[in-house]
Amino acid sequence: MSGEKIINLTGYKFINLEDLLQIKALLLNLCKKNQIKGTILVAPEGININISGTESHITTLLKHFSEISWLQDMTYKKTISDYIPFNRMLVRLKKEIISFGQDGIDPLTQPAKYIEPEELKHWYETGKEFIILDTRNSFEVKIGTFKNAINPEIKSFRKFIEKSKDLPPKAHELPIVTFCTGGVRCEKAAPFLEKNGFKNVFQLNGGILNYFQKVGGDHYEGDCFVFDKRTALTPECKPNGMIQCHCCRHPLTFEEQKSPLYKESVSCPNCIDRKAG
């Protein structure tokens, strides 16, 4: 296995699940047996995967997944790295695979329309009038986002519901494209907008990472935050060198890493005031 490339695998699926404890035990056993690390969220509404391992171990794991009926048609996004960006393997049982806190939103039976990366690029390049809406947290948007994207300035995805009321009036008439890192947040944000009177809502299929892999970084400004030790990926899906503060987990730019307020494992410019207080 020496020198073998590391595969980072993400994916989600909305499906009605029961016997969650049994599913947790099965997935944890398969992952540990194949030396996989990362996090899998399991809920009555489905599964959300963010894991990493050597290419041979990931291949073996996916073979096992293909033998589980409800995982057979699941799609994954893969990126390559030099190391496994997780410390351990966790399978967590949750109420939702992406926490939204709004009843009546069912991506399984009432999904919003998808727009493919190639089509979104075409919209930009032909000057089509549309609204592009970032559904991620503010600290993620700070690292990079699409050109002209609206930042709802939220600290957690649950706040999106309230902040959606601040969208400009023309959002009720123009096409809206929602996007996030890998697509799962938009599976709830886009149907929510439709249910609340927005007429022409799309979700970017596969999110930013799929856009990077399909068409590159055109019309995207900056890099993309990811929830592992790589911190942020360039449009080439390579780590950009950012790190996270050990204490507050805030991503640190190169300038912040050089700041006298940054002390490794102690504090950073984003949390030093809280530490002092």
Q: C-alpha 196: how far from its chain's center?
A: 24
The whole-number average pLDDT for the span 161-167 is: 96
**186 within 8 A of 179, measured Cβ to Cβ:** yes
Which domains does the chain possess? 6-93 (3.30.70.100), 113-224 (3.40.250.10)
**118 within 8 A of 214, measured Cβ to Cβ:** yes
pLDDT at 260: 93
The whole-number average pLDDT for the span 75-89 is: 96
Confidence of residue 180 (pLDDT cuts 50, 70, 90): very high
The whole-number average pLDDT for the span 56-77 is: 96
DSSP 111: P
Helix (H), strand (E) at residue 225:
strand 224-225
Structure confidence by residue, pLDDT tens digits, 119-142: 999 999 999 999 999 999 999 999
Q: What is the rounded CA–CA span in Å between residue 11 and residue 48?
A: 6
The whole-number average pLDDT for the span 191-209 is: 97
pLDDT at 248: 86
Lowest-confidence region among 57-61, 104-108, 182-186: 104-108
Whether 1 shows a pLDDT value over 50: the answer reads no
Tell me which amino acid residue 120 is. Answer: L
Q: List residues bridging with 10 in a β-sheet.
A: 50, 77
Query: Measured between alpha carbons, how far is residue 104 from residues 96, 244, 251 in Å?
Result: 13, 36, 34
pLDDT at 275: 62
Active site residue 247: no
What is the secondary structure of 127-170 as a DSSP string?
Answer: T---EEEE-S-HHHHTTEEETT-B----SSGGGHHHHGGGS-GG
- Summary mean pLDDT of the chain: 95
In the chain, the percentage of residues whose pLDDT exceeds 90 is 87
pLDDT at 276: 57
Helix count (H) and strand count (E) of the chain? 9, 15
Confidence of residue 250 (pLDDT cuts 50, 70, 90): confident
In this prediction the pTM is 0.92
Active-site entry in 31, 180, 245, 268: 180
The whole-number average pLDDT for the span 239-244 is: 92
**Helix 55-66 crosses helix 20-33 at what angle (to 10 degrees)?**
150
Q: What is the rounded CA–CA span in Å between residue 41 and residue 94?
A: 7
